[in-house]
């Protein structure tokens, strides 16, 4: 069985980032190869600091991986333009592999995860190379740069993001008000697909849900599911995870 290549940052609290990605793959009984882009020091409440891994070391991690063993790529934190450039070169050489980019710009613990020049490079270099982009509402608003009247509308946001180059865009609407959480998948030349799930009270407080969703989607894509199927299965997986966290009270004890 092929592995998922996880590219991203370490959150030393374990709530998000590549440790959460790896945990997700263990639950799905899937294997992982890892390339670390940054080390962060944070708790659920406070972001202390972040150290970007030098581009040369990232490049070496990627070149040490046997790409014949990889079935899909999941990309999370990319701290700066240098790491984005390394990734763009790697994706360009591996266009045959499905890739999921979760564009993490900031952490709910309060830290900046990507420099502003890094975000510009990610938009121009990386988006045209990825299969699926999975922004949350604020990340999609940042990337889409729409007039404010359209900036809460998932369809306008996902279509504006789609124009930036990815094959498909999933805008996650969990931060919109309402009893339902809506996510919208847009693909070039295909009908939009809306995924609807009941809101779990305080579910938005659970950390690392975006990381886990993108990782699970990458896994289902590696299993030859199409975008709607992969997003549906991964969404169900993360919904069950949030429910478990919520029942255990773990996410909310402060
Ligand atoms: N820290 C790292 C290293 C991450 O990769 C991410 C998300 O991908 C976060 C923090 C943000 O996590 P959250 O906003 O879920 O707290």
Residue-wise pLDDT for 15-70, tens only, equals 999 999 999 999 999 999 999 999 999 998 999 999 999 999 999 999 999 999 99
Pick the atom of ligand 1 nearest to 40's CA: 3
> Do β-strands 180-187 and 193-198 pair in parallel, antiparallel, or remain unpaired?
antiparallel
Q: How far is CA 78 from the centre of its chain?
A: 11
pLDDT at 201 over 60: yes
Give pLDDT tens digits for 117-142.
999 999 999 999 999 999 999 999 99
Pick the atom of ligand 1 nearest to 206's CA: 15
Give pLDDT tens digits for 208-249.
999 999 999 999 999 999 999 999 999 999 999 999 988 876
- Model-level pTM? 0.95
Give the whole-angstrom CA distance, residue 72 versus residue 62: 14
Q: Is 22 in the pocket of ligand 1 (CB under 6 A)?
A: no
Beta bridge partners of 136: 172
Choose which residue among 6, 8, 12, 16 to substitute to test ligand 1 binding: the one with the highest number of ligand atoms within 8 A of its C-beta: 16
Q: Is 52 in the pocket of ligand 1 (CB under 6 A)?
A: no
CATH fold group of domain 3-247: 3.40.1190
Strand order in the sheet with 70-75: 47-52, 32-42, 3-11, 70-75, 99-101, 132-133, 168-172, 180-187, 193-198
- Give Cα separations from 28 to 129, 207, 216, 218, 233 (angstroms): 26, 19, 8, 11, 11
């Amino acid at each position: 069985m092929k592995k998922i290549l996880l590219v991203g940052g370490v959150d030393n609290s374990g709530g998000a980032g590549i440790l959460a990605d790896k945990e997700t793959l263990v639950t799905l009984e899937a294997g992982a190869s890892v390339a670390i882009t940054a080390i962060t020091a944070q708790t659920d409440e406070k972001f202390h600091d972040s150290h970007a891994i030098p581009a040369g070391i990232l490049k070496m991690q990627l070149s040490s991986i046997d790409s014949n063993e990889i079935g899909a790529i999941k990309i999370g934190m990319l701290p700066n333009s240098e790491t984005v450039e390394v990734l763009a070169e790697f994706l360009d050489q591996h266009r045959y592999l499905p890739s999921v980019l979760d564009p993490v710009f900031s952490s709910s613990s309060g830290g900046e995860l990507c420099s502003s020049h890094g975000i510009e490079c990610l938009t121009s270099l990386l988006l045209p190379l990825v299969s699926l982009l999975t922004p949350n509402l604020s990340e999609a608003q940042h990337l889409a740069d729409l007039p404010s009247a359209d900036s809460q509308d998932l369809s306008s946001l996902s279509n504006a993001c789609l124009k930036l180059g990815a094959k498909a865009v999933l805008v996650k609407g969990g931060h919109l008000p309402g009893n339902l959480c809506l996510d919208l998948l847009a693909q070039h030349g295909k009908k939009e697909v809306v995924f609807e799930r009941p809101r779990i009270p305080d579910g938005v407080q659970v950390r690392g849900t975006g990381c886990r969703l993108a990782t699970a989607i990458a896994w289902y894509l590696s299993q030859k599911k199409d975008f709607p199927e992969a997003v549906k299965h991964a969404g169900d997986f993360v919904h069950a995870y949030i429910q478990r966290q919520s029942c255990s009270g773990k996410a909310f004890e402060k």
